[in-house]
Amino acid sequence: MTTENADFARKIAAHLDQGTADLKAGTAYRLQQARGVALERLAGVHAAAPALAGAHTLAGGPRHGTHGPSLWSNGRLWLGIALIAAASVGYQQWRAWQQLSELEETDAALLSSELPIDAYLDRGFQNWIKISDE
């Protein structure tokens, strides 16, 4: 512990001691008993920790000092990415189909009209079609 940490710890301890100075003897005793029980439980947790660490590793927990599974090893993340990619490709295909359908309708309307073939070959008519489609 550094000197700054030690000074800070002493200041906290002094404030805590001031706060407990006004407590009744019975209250202080009950707090002391509760602290003892808490420390016993803490010691029990630390004693069981090595045995549980092996079980945690076997159950798929962190290994070799890691802090858990990587974000990229999460199956739900990859499922989400796959769904987004599939939706994007599907939307692109739908838009291409829509555009093709519009072109087919325009071609069918032009070919079913009663214009002579020479009108379709006229450059001015082709330019007029391009302008009117936009």
Express each pLDDT in 26-49 by its tens digit: 888 888 888 888 888 888 776 665
Contact 52, 58 (CB under 8 A): no
Query: Model-level pTM?
Result: 0.35
Q: Which residues of 3-39 are buried (b: 16+ CB within 10 A; e: fewer)?
A: eeeeeeeeeeeeeeeeeeeeeeeeeeeeeeeeeeeee
Give the lowest-confidence range in 13-17, 48-52, 82-86, 119-123.
48-52
Q: Which residue has the higher pLDDT, 81 or 22?
A: 81
The predicted-structure confidence for 44-100, as pLDDT tens digits, reads as follows: 776 665 555 555 555 555 555 555 667 777 888 899 999 999 999 999 999 999 999
Contact 54, 46 (CB under 8 A): no
| pLDDT bracket for residue 1 (50, 70, 90) | low
Report d(CA 71, CA 73) in Å as an integer.
6
Q: What's 71's DSSP letter? A: G
Contact 92, 86 (CB under 8 A): no
Handedness of CA 13, 18, 19, 20 (dihedral sign): positive
Q: Which residue has the higher pLDDT, 92 or 23?
A: 92
